[in-house]
């Protein structure tokens, strides 16, 4: 699952934006690791508990304060387990399907909350920029 949004003419401090993104995920119990890119930043996000590492989340922030994109990429290896579980339900594989579906639902909720949070932060940062506040 991959989604991307673009903002123009906002004047947003992208370093502060990436810090806000990290805070969002840390507050939800994830670990983050930030990597610099030539034109932006990549943030890798993983659950704190090893047994929950079914989901890998990556956020990429590219561009400049006046024209930037944020891409959210969620890679769930559990989709295979879900499909396998659905096909093997008669043989007790339904547990894999249930786990996969629960993970997928949780990731969809997380994605919705993330974009809402990000919109709020960008709106605030843009308003501060227009008003001349640091």
pLDDT digits (tens, 9 = 90+) for 86-132: 455 555 555 555 555 676 787 888 999 999 999 999 998 887 766 66
Q: How far apart are CA 115 and CA 88, in angstroms?
A: 36
pTM of structure? 0.76
Residue 134 has pLDDT above 70, yes or no: no
Q: How far apart are CA 40 and CA 127, in angstroms?
A: 22
What percent of the chain is helix, strand and coil (3-state, nearest 5)?
Answer: 50, 30, 20
Please, what is the angle between helix 78-87 and helix 94-131, to 10°? 150
- What distances in angstroms separate CA 32 from CA 24, 29, 40, 134, one per listed residue? 10, 10, 16, 26
Q: How far apart are CA 133 and CA 124, in angstroms?
A: 11
Q: Which CATH class is domain 2-131?
A: alpha beta
pLDDT digits over 68-93, tens only? 999 999 875 544 444 544 455 555 55
pLDDT of residue 101: 63
Residue with the larger pLDDT of the pair 63 and 96: 63
Percent of the chain with pLDDT over 70: 69
């Amino acid at each position: 699952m991959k989604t991307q949004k673009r903002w123009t003419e906002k004047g947003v401090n992208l370093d502060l934006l990436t810090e806000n993104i990290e805070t969002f995920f840390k507050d939800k119990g994830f670990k983050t690791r930030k990597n610099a890119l030539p034109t932006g930043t990549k943030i890798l996000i993983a659950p704190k508990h090893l047994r929950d590492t079914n989901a890998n989340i990556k956020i990429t922030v590219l561009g400049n304060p006046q024209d930037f994109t944020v891409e959210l990429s969620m890679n769930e290896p559990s989709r295979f387990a879900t499909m396998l579980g659905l096909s093997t339900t008669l043989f007790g594989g339904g547990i894999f399907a249930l786990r996969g579906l629960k993970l997928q639902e949780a990731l969809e909720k997380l994605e919705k909350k993330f974009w809402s949070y990000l919109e709020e932060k960008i709106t605030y940062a843009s308003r501060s920029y227009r008003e001349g506040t640091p």
